[in-house]
Amino acid sequence: MEDLIKESAQIIVNSKSTIALTGAGISVESGIPDFRSAGGLWSKFDPAEYATIHAFQQDPEKVWNMLVEMEDVVSGAEPNAAHIGMGDLEKMGLLKCIITQNVDNLHQDGGAENVIEYHGNSSSLSCLTCRKKFKSTDKKGDNPPKCDCGQILKPDVIFFGEAIPADSMNRSFHLASSAEALIVAGTSAVVSPANTIPDIAKQNGAKIIEINLERTQLTGRLTDVFLQGSAGETISALVEEVRLIKSA
Ligand code: APR
């Protein structure tokens, strides 16, 4: 693994444009379960019943039973070494942008500023009737949270069946098409269109560094360097090696 860390660090130092794609696995060490690992959120709540925009429109109170459980975990979570390490890479000018599928705001809390939130952010809520917005913290404990007009509020996250914000999609595809290196961390890469970013980057000659506890559909197909391990430990080791190369 040490050689692979050195190889990955050299790729990042040599790259003129490195971006990252992250998923729920990067926040597991902050206490937020991912979706598809054993014991993940989808093992408790069927996404077809709880995570589609149709399910929310049909029975928002039922969907809020899942959302409240997620909210309780996310609101108490702190950024872990993986978020902080990626924030450090950005500060060193070695990570241009983080495209995240997560809605927990932990990349920003961990010091990153250039973050594209592919699936929105759970820190705000919107009324689908009068378009009024609220901070999630202002409605903490309400199940379900309601607008002043009485309607049940929707979190500003993207449900299955909703479009990815056009700006997020366009900016991320543009960055992927000109990246020289892509760090893919903590994602099963099974959800489109986020999972097309590695393909776009690869088509344009980027080196793919994948960080995951286990192999994914990318590993044997697109990944150039597979760092098998926990995101926190691996990214910390990667950043330490980058610092060593930069100081040499
Ligand atoms: N370190 C590194 N990788 C980890 C860790 C860890 N500590 N813990 C879990 N993982 C890996 C798992 O092996 C898995 O490959 O993170 C990945 C998490 O995959 P998913 O649970 O599918 O999460 P994600 O890829 O982010 O899902 C994408 O699906 O349901 C939707 O909107 C939801 O944004 C989510 C999208």
**Atom from ligand 1 closest to the CA of residue 118:** 34
Residue of the CA atom closest to atom 14 of ligand 1: 188
Task: Assess contact for 210 and 218: CB atoms under 8 A.
Answer: yes
Using CB atoms within 10 A of its CB, is residue 10 exposed (0-12), middle (13-18) or buried (19+)?
A: middle
In this prediction, residue 107 has a pLDDT band, given cuts at 50, 70 and 90, of very high
Amino acid (one-letter) located at 228: Q
In this prediction, residue 30 has a pLDDT band, given cuts at 50, 70 and 90, of very high
**Atom from ligand 1 closest to the CA of residue 231:** 1
In this prediction, residue 116 has a pLDDT band, given cuts at 50, 70 and 90, of very high
Residue 178 domain boundaries: 1-32+79-119+164-248
In a domain, residue 65? The reply is no
In a domain, residue 139? The reply is no
Question: What pLDDT does residue 195 have?
Answer: 97
* Mean pLDDT over the full length of the chain: 97
218, HSE (Cβ side, Cα atoms, 13 Å): 33
What does the pLDDT average to over 33-48? 95
What does the pLDDT average to over 58-70? 95
Residue of the CA atom closest to atom 29 of ligand 1: 191
Question: Whole-model pTM above 0.85?
Answer: yes
Count of the separate structural domains present in the chain: 1
In this prediction, residue 188 has a pLDDT band, given cuts at 50, 70 and 90, of very high
CATH code: domain of residue 236: 3.40.50.1220
Question: What pLDDT does residue 60 have?
Answer: 96
Ligand 1, pocket residues at CB < 6 Å = 23-25, 28-29, 34-37, 40, 47, 101, 119, 186-188, 190-191, 212-214, 216, 230-231
In a domain, residue 66? The reply is no
In a domain, residue 27? The reply is yes
What does the pLDDT average to over 209-235? 98
166, HSE (Cβ side, Cα atoms, 13 Å): 0
What does the pLDDT average to over 203-221? 97
In a domain, residue 151? The reply is no
What does the pLDDT average to over 33-59? 96
Q: Could you tell me which residues come within 8 angstroms of residue 82 by beta carbon, excluding any fewer than 6 positions away?
A: 26, 29, 110, 185, 186, 231, 232, 234, 235, 236
In a domain, residue 68? The reply is no
241, HSE (Cβ side, Cα atoms, 13 Å): 19
What does the pLDDT average to over 223-230? 98
Question: What pLDDT does residue 11 have?
Answer: 98
d(CA 173, CA 182) in angstroms, rounded, equals: 12
In a domain, residue 220? The reply is yes
**Atom from ligand 1 closest to the CA of residue 214:** 13
In a domain, residue 245? The reply is yes
pLDDT tens column, 125-182: 999 999 999 999 999 999 999 999 999 999 999 999 999 999 999 999 999 999 999 9
Active centre residues (catalytic): 119
- What percent of the chain is modeled with pLDDT above 90? 98
